[in-house]
């Protein structure tokens, strides 16, 4: 009987130690991940040169968005910009990226543009991008077509890890000889933050 009690006590001690060690080694940035099937909607609007004194500066508004980790996010981007900012030949930013599943940070990465699925756009037709290098996601925004006032992109994704990630537009739509100045380098215009909480 004493042997059985000692064996149970030893087994209990091992299980308790394993539980404590797993709790101590858990990554706090991934704890409390939002895992329900709730869909979170966020909207950004791209205005083209409407700010007084900065008539050639396009702008995403709002520039910063906050989303819960693990939630399915439907990011709607409504663009009023009918101009293109052609990407250089061979640029990867004309393709819709869905994240790097190797690291398990992002799931999804699907895009609907004016009601039609979009996986890539010819570089000459790109107006803007919503690119988050730290998450390896990229949504492509085409120019507003002739006869229309807006184009609407819905990009659906999930971020599985909490953190603050910088987004930027990778299309050369700013000032300067290479189109990468002005609004492109300014937070609140063509770059901002994705806050995953």
Q: What is the reported pLDDT for 157? A: 94
Two tokens at 197? 């909480």
pTM of the model: 0.79
Strand partners, 58: 48
Cα–Cα distance, 109 to 96 (Å, whole number): 7
Structure tokens that stand for 40 in this block: 């979170």
pLDDT at residue 19, as a whole number: 32
First to last CA, the chain: 53
**Measured distance CA(23)–CA(39) in Å, rounded:** 30
State the pLDDT at residue 176: 79
Per-residue pLDDT of the chain (197 residues; tens, 9 = 90+): 444 334 333 333 333 333 333 333 334 444 445 555 789 999 999 998 766 667 678 899 999 999 999 999 999 999 999 999 999 999 999 999 987 766 778 888 999 999 999 999 998 899 999 999 999 999 999 999 999 999 999 999 999 989 999 999 999 887 777 888 888 888 999 999 999 99
Task: Look at residues 89, 165, 85 and name the one whose alpha carbon lies nearest to residue 129.
Answer: 85
Please give the full DSSP string across 40-98, using - where no structure is assigned.
EEEEEEEEES-BTTBTT-EEEESS-EEE-TTSEEEEEEEE------PPPTT-GGGBPEE
Give whole-number Cα distances, 84 to 64, 81, 125, 131, in Å.
24, 8, 6, 17
Please state, in angstroms and rounded to a whole number, the distance separating the CA atoms of residues 111 and 120.
9
185 three-class SS: helix
Q: What's the rounded Cα separation, in Å, for the pair 81 and 68? A: 29
Record the tokens describing residue 41, joined without a space: 């909607």
Q: What is the pLDDT of residue 107?
A: 86
Going along the chain from its start, the domains and CATH numbers come out as 39-196 (2.60.40.420)
Tokens encoding 190: 């063509």
Give the pLDDT of residue 35: 54
């Amino acid at each position: 009987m004493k042997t059985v009690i000692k064996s149970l006590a030893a087994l209990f001690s091992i299980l308790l130690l394993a539980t404590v060690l797993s709790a101590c080694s858990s990554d706090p940035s991934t704890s409390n991940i939002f895992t329900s099937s709730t869909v979170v909607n966020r909207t950004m609007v791209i205005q083209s040169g409407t700010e007084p004194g900065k008539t050639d500066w396009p702008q995403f508004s709002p520039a910063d968005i906050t989303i819960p980790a693990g939630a399915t996010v439907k990011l709607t981007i409504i663009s009023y910009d009918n101009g293109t900012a052609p990407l250089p030949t061979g640029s990867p930013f004309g393709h819709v990226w869905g994240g790097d599943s190797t690291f398990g940070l992002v799931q999804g990465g699907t895009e609907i543009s004016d009601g039609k699925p979009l996986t890539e756009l010819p570089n000459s037709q790109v107006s803007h991008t919503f690119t988050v290098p730290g998450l390896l996601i990229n949504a492509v925004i085409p120019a507003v077509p002739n006869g229309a006032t807006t184009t609407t992109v819905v990009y659906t994704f999930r971020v599985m890890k909490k953190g603050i990630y910088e987004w930027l537009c990778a299309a050369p739509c700013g000032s300067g000889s290479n189109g990468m100045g002005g609004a492109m380098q300014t937070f609140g215009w063509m770059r901002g933050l994705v806050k995953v909480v």
